[in-house]
Amino acid sequence: MLQDMDFTGKAVIADRGYDMNNVLELIEKQQAVAVITSRKRCKIQQTCDWRLYKERHLVECLFNKLKHYRRLATRYDKLACSFAAFYRWPLFFYG
């Protein structure tokens, strides 16, 4: 999947799981900057732009929030009473 993407002139931000020689070489071939921290067990630690790496944390937090509120997106609470119980405030419907 990474081979099909064009990273030319961009920064690739990823976590430690992508600290592999083949991934780093692929990023380097496309003339991009790898912002990937080294694994703790590596003898040679590569440098990382920590200010740019912190932006990965913002994306991770966004996915965490989306997972937390998935019950709204998938409509688990189809009845008004269970929807109101989830949010802890009463919903009044006039009919």
Cα separation, 45 vs 41, whole angstroms:
9
* Domain residue limits, the chain: 2-87
Helix (H), strand (E) at residue 13: strand 11-14
Model confidence over 14-48: pLDDT tens digits? 888 888 888 889 999 999 998 888 888 878 778 88
Residue 81: both structure tokens together = 């009473």
Model confidence over 46-58: pLDDT tens digits? 888 888 888 888 8
